[in-house]
Amino acid sequence: MLPESLQHAADRYIELEREIDRLVPQACYQACRECEGKCCRAGMANQTIRTWWLREISVRVHGTWWPGDWEGRAGCVALTERGCLLTAGRPINCRIWYCQPWLDACRGPWEALFCAFLCELLPRTVRLGPQLSLLDLTEADGPRHARLIARRIEDAHELLGRARTLVDDAADEGMRLRVAFELVLGNPGMLQPALCERLLADLCGPQARR
């Protein structure tokens, strides 16, 4: 059970995960269905079970969802016939989808950039400082960082609000460019090679692909 000082932050983290899920383009979900979840592997959900923050978040929404024999299971214990059961507290690595089917499913460069941003948002949010990760905190030391945790989560909501300009039909190209520069300058790591290739192909034509 999370202490009082972290209850609101936990709810806001859950909202952030839900908002990300809502904003993922439907075509990307379709790509996952066709791919049949091949990136779901044994042991992936163990990060949630073993990590204080993710475990608390997942329990808040799903109760105690993992089986008693989770350490001996062959596949991922969160994988069901309907896909991943973890809508909250999903392992951070399972929120990063820089795969070709996703990039191919995106309609144009702005949507591809937006998807790359969605992939980076939670990894960036759990980084509380150069040497401090929310994923390394324990039940004992988490409350000491309550204000910092809350601020990181609110910053992520604000950033997500601005990033939505990239896929807002009412936004003009100038607004999108400004937001794109801001996002990339704030997090150059989102420019993964596959995304760069996709952007080059969209902006300069397929011959730009290496």
Residue 9, H or E segment = helix 4-23
- The stretch among 36-44, 63-71, 121-129, 180-188 that binds ligand SF4 (CB under 6 A) is 36-44
Stretch binding ligand SF4 (CB under 6 A), from 2-10, 19-27, 88-96, 151-159: 88-96
Name which position in 14, 25, 90, 153 contacts ligand SF4 (CB under 6 A). 90
CB of 34 to ligand SF4, least distance (A): 7
Enumerate the β-bridge partners of residue 126: none
Say which DSSP state 24 is in: S
Strand partners, 98: none
List 3, 7, 39, 136, residue binding ligand SF4 (CB under 6 A): 39
Residues 147-206 that bind ligand SF4 (CB under 6 A): none
- How far does CA 66 lie from the centroid of its chain? 21
Task: Report yes or no: 116 and 190 within 8 Å, Cβ to Cβ.
Answer: yes
Beta strands in the chain (DSSP E): 79-80, 83-84, 127-129, 132-133
CA trace torsion 182, 155, 15, 124 (10° rounding): 70
* Residue with smaller CB distance to ligand SF4, 46 or 133: 46
Position among 16, 20, 44, 115 found at the interface with ligand SF4 (CB under 6 A): 44
Compute φ and ψ for 128, nearest 5 degrees: -80, -20
Q: How many CA atoms lie within 13 A of 106 on its CB side?
A: 27
Give the footprint of ligand SF4 on residues 52-81 (CB under 6 A).
76, 78-79
Residue 99 in the binding site for ligand SF4 (CB under 6 A)? yes
Q: Which of 8, 27, 73, 101 binds ligand SF4 (CB under 6 A)?
A: 101
In the complex, which residues of this chain contact ligand SF4 (CB under 6 A)? Answer: 31-32, 35, 37-41, 44-45, 76, 78-79, 84, 86, 90-91, 94, 97, 99, 101-102
